[in-house]
Amino acid sequence: MSDQSNKARRRSTSGLPRADETAGAGNPLGAAARRRSRVRAWPGAPSRGRSTAVRARAEILAIQQGVQRRKLFVWLLGAIVAVSMVVVLMGTVGLISETRSRPLTAAEQARYKQEEIARRWQAWPAAGVFPEEVRYLGLDSATQYARRVGIAPETKCAEAVDPPIGAVLDTHGCVTVLRATYLDETATFVITVGVAVLQDEDSRVSATEELTLDDRVGVLPVPFEGTVTERFGLEQRQRSGWVGAGPYVVFSTAGYADGRTRAAVPAEEILHSELWSTAKSIGNQIAYFLADPPNVPPCTQGNVC
């Protein structure tokens, strides 16, 4: 009996109730708990103090990130300002270097002369291009003065010269033709001077290389009604010629104030008459006025470097 009791007690150590045991005696579900439960408790909701601490830490992190971004922004802004200041400084130094007064180079002096001469036909008044009196050499090299009778309106190149001359001028970029008529000191000869304006000196040189040497063609005469020049027309032209000066071709043509035609004058007289030397001298004087080299300042800003 004791052995059976002992076996029964040994089998009961498995923790499972036997069928013949009563609930109050051996059933662990019905008996009071003798051991701690092994079931893990669910974590409870955070307390109000813990929630406040979390929010405070999040705010601190946000502030720290904002400070870092601000520092980065300030650094970038400072870098941009620094680079801008360097650029402005370099530009200012370059501007000062370019605009400060310095001696003109030989090329700059030559360009200054060319530009000054090329703009004279516009910059000067009409009386500057065609002075009221022009000095010339008469018989025995005596100094005499031709008197300007009138100045014609500015004319298109092809309309102010004979067709063969006009074709050449237009080919090389002629801009315009200015004309005036003079009377010699004795009121015997009538001379029309025409200034053909080319784009530059190179164009003028190219044009003059193609101009004809025929003294029967050139600038068209300009008579002025009510003066002794009113009978000076195409048939009254005795001789014509031209001379190059800077960007200008200065034409001259001459005839007699009494209206004599070329056909009425012996060829020998046409070639050796004082008329032509007077006309050439007046044309050369006007060409000299236009192409006379100007005084060049020594420095870029005047006379002081």
Model pLDDT for residues 79-92, shown as the tens digit of each residue: 899 898 888 888 87
Is residue 31 pLDDT above 60, yes or no?
no
Asked whether 139 and 189 are in contact (CB, 8 A), the reply is no
Identify the pLDDT of residue 49.
61
Identify the pLDDT of residue 89.
83
Residue 244, Cβ neighbours under 10 Å: how many?
A: 19
Measure Cα distances from 270 to 182, 233, 239, 262, 266 in Å.
19, 17, 7, 8, 6
Asked whether 270 and 238 are in contact (CB, 8 A), the reply is yes
Identify the pLDDT of residue 29.
47
Encode pLDDT of 56-76 as tens digits. 787 788 787 877 888 888 888
Cβ neighbors of 282 (< 8 A, separation 6 or more) are: 134, 136, 146, 182, 191, 193, 252
Lowest mean pLDDT among 31-35, 164-168, 282-286: 31-35
pTM, whole model, 2 decimals?
Answer: 0.67
254-275 burial: b if 16+ Cβ within 10 Å, else e? bbbbeeeebeebeeeeeeebeb
If you count DSSP H runs as helices and E runs as strands, how many of each does the chain have, helices first?
Answer: 11, 6
Alpha-carbon radius of gyration of the chain: 56
Lowest mean pLDDT among 126-140, 190-204, 280-294: 126-140
What confidence tier does 33 reach under pLDDT thresholds 50, 70, 90?
very low
DSSP summary character for residue 161: B
Lowest mean pLDDT among 15-19, 216-220, 244-248: 15-19
End-to-end CA distance of the chain: 140
What confidence tier does 2 reach under pLDDT thresholds 50, 70, 90?
very low
Identify the pLDDT of residue 226.
95
Given strand 176-183, what is the order of strands in its sheet? 133-137, 143-151, 176-183, 189-197, 248-256, 239-245
Higher pLDDT, 263 or 33: 263
| DSSP-based three-state secondary structure for 207 | helix
The closest alpha carbon to 117, from 244, 264, 289, belongs to 289
Mean predicted lDDT score pLDDT of the chain: 84
Structure tokens at 257: 């104030």
Encode pLDDT of 219-235 as tens digits. 999 999 999 999 999 99
Is residue 236 pLDDT above 80, yes or no?
yes
Encode pLDDT of 183-220 as tens digits. 999 999 999 999 999 999 999 999 999 999 899 999 99
Identify the pLDDT of residue 19.
46
Higher pLDDT, 299 or 113: 113
